[in-house]
Copies of this chain bind each other. A is one copy, B any other.
């Protein structure tokens, strides 16, 4: 071990995961009650410390994996949070990551192990430390990226109806969208393709199921 910077103070470096899911036409956030001091019992994002032999990105993926059993999820850095007293007692700099998961893929056994809950985004409880700021920033980023990146495919199951897709857009943007205009836009980018399957669960008539085709959209706006 070299000692180039001896005398310089170090800090704990953590990651916190803002995990979004989509269910019942609502955006949900995965929260848990903190199981360690300080802040035991408060609602909190899932997080963990960055190990010495993993990058910060890897730490975020690891934490998410430990929580959900899922790998290769959409994850994106939200930002570093470094107020002096953001953690009571110790100096912890935390790097927030936003993740999108398909709730249907989530291993439900893990709910109880981690005391995880899906909380409705517009009924958030008070959160530990600066976690609320992290969530707000993540939502703001989501709203921007939904216009240029195909992030919805991380939230929906493999097959879905156009109405479901529209609901995802509406939940993220926080506004309702005209059905005909929405379908026109979606069809003009060739983001999805129709399948032969029909969903009869949510409607009597039945709705065509679509899937994402893996074209990327380049420079497309919504």
Main secondary structure of the interface of A (DSSP, over half): loop
Determine the distance from Cα of A164 to Cα of B84 in the docked complex, in whole angstroms. 41
Whether A5 contacts B79 by the Cβ 8 Å rule is no
User: A18-26, A51-59, A195-203, A209-217: which lies at the B interface?
Assistant: A51-59
A2 near B: Cβ within 8 Å? Answer: yes
Whether A89 contacts B53 by the Cβ 8 Å rule is no
A9 surroundings in chain B (CB, below 8 A): 49, 51-52
Interface string of A48-89 (1 = CB under 8 A from B): 011111111101000000000000000001011111100001
Contact for A91 among B52, B79, B90, B93, CB less than 8 A = B52
Interface size counted on chain A using CB atoms at 8 A: 37
Determine the distance from Cα of A144 to Cα of B84 in the docked complex, in whole angstroms. 30
A38 surroundings in chain B (CB, below 8 A): 2, 4
**Which A residues from 1 to 52 make CB contacts under 8 A with B?**
2-5, 8-13, 36-38, 49-52
A95 near B: Cβ within 8 Å? Answer: yes
Known contacts A9-B51, A11-B13, A53-B84; 18 additional CB pairs below 8 A are A2-B90, A4-B37, A4-B38, A5-B90, A8-B12, A8-B49, A9-B49, A11-B11, A11-B52, A13-B82, A55-B84, A56-B81, A56-B82, A56-B83, A56-B93, A77-B79, A79-B80, A80-B95
